Amino acid sequence: MSVPAPAAAGVPSVPNAGAVADFALRADGLRKNYGATVAVDGISFGVRAGEIVGLLGPNGAGKTSTINMILGVLQPSAGDIRIEGIELARHRSQALAHTNFAAVYAALPGNLTVYQNLRFFSLIYDVPAGASRIEQLLDEFDLQRLRNTRSGLLSSGEQTRLALAKAMVNEPRLLLLDEPTASLDPSAADLIRGRIRAMAARTGCGILWTSHNMYEVEETCDRVLFLSRGRILLEGDPRSLPRVHGASSLEELFIRLAREPLANEPPPAAPALKRDAPGAAP
């Protein structure tokens, strides 16, 4: 199998007209350069309300740079990000009020207790009735008995639950999860995935999820985006993509995409590009 050419920049994978409010996130022509190095190369995609989108790719593909740009801690070199229709570059505070995230590399301060961490972030996000929201989250994520424990002393599973509780503190419309189950055992990971799926269905929160666990992606995500060298190579349903591209599993497809050299320039037509997802362009 040859690696499909990347989607051409300027070919958005989000609809251009109508239903803007249906999108928790829209990124158009997103690009990040570090000098001559291109980390993210003009990608466009969207995440609908209630949809879980997997952002996949090998290390260095541009996943974390993409997430950091959406979180407002990395300024794009070009492109536009809209969260709930609000332009991030112009209305950063308003846009991020609808957003939250959990990432393995962004542990919460270990010297604060579970309760103190949630209190701190409920205030940072200006959550009204924060105290009752915290109690609700402590119950929901089974953290009541740990409320006075310093978060640095929690197990990996407990820390993940706390990170997710923090990520839900402002009832976000867009949730960014960067390898949320990376340090969990299969049982704990399964429980967390279940919680996140249920939460997305219940609240209509759009989720952008990065993971290297292809089983997890197939099980959890409604749609996936394959990134390589800053470009989106493939997009579609994680359950049908392997079959369409002649791979036996998503993992096999991932390995091929990660190992085969990427064409420097996209061919005139990109026949291998599959867009069968709800957010795909016509």
Partner 1 sequence: MKLRPIAAIALRQLYLMRSSPTRVLPMIAWVAIDIILWGFISRYLNTVASTGINFISSLLGAVLFWDFFTRVMQGVTMAFFEDVWSRNFINVFATPLLISEYLTGLVLTGITTSVIGLIVMLLLATFLFGLPFFSLGMLLLPFLLVLFLFGIALGVLASAMVLRLGPAAEWLVWPIPALLSPFVGVFYPLSVLPAWMRALGHLLPPSYVFENMRSVVGGHGYSGNALLTGIALALLDILLAAWLFSSIHRYAVRSGLLARYSAESVS
Q: Which positions lie near partner 1, rule CB under 8 A?
A: 32, 34, 64-65, 68, 71-75, 92-94, 96-97, 99, 101, 103, 105-113, 116, 119-121, 123-127, 130, 150
Looking at beta carbons only, is 82 or 223 nearer to partner 1? Answer: 82
Looking at residue 21, its amino acid is: A
| Helix ranges (DSSP H) in 41-113 | 63-70, 92-96
User: What are the Cα distances from residue 127, in Å, to 147, 166, 174, 195, 258?
Assistant: 19, 12, 16, 22, 42
Q: How far apart are CA 12 and CA 4, in angstroms?
A: 17
Residues in the chain: 282
Residue carrying the six token digits 């790719």: 57
Looking at beta carbons only, is 163 or 224 nearer to partner 1? Answer: 163
Looking at beta carbons only, is 227 or 257 nearer to partner 1? Answer: 227
Report the nearest approach of partner 1 to the CB of residue 279 (Å).
Answer: 23
- CA proximity to 193, closest of 52, 70, 63, 55: 52
Looking at beta carbons only, is 68 or 220 nearer to partner 1? Answer: 68
Report the nearest approach of partner 1 to the CB of residue 223 (Å).
Answer: 24
Looking at beta carbons only, is 11 or 120 nearer to partner 1? Answer: 120
Report the nearest approach of partner 1 to the CB of residue 258 (Å).
Answer: 23
Report the nearest approach of partner 1 to the CB of residue 66 (Å).
Answer: 11
User: What are the Cα distances from residue 235, in Å, to 97, 104, 276?
Assistant: 28, 25, 8
Looking at beta carbons only, is 75 or 155 nearer to partner 1? Answer: 75
Report the nearest approach of partner 1 to the CB of residue 95 (Å).
Answer: 8
Residue 228 burial by CB count (10 A; 0-12/13-18/19+): exposed, middle or buried?
A: buried
- CA proximity to 46, closest of 10, 18, 82, 11: 82
Report the nearest approach of partner 1 to the CB of residue 125 (Å).
Answer: 6
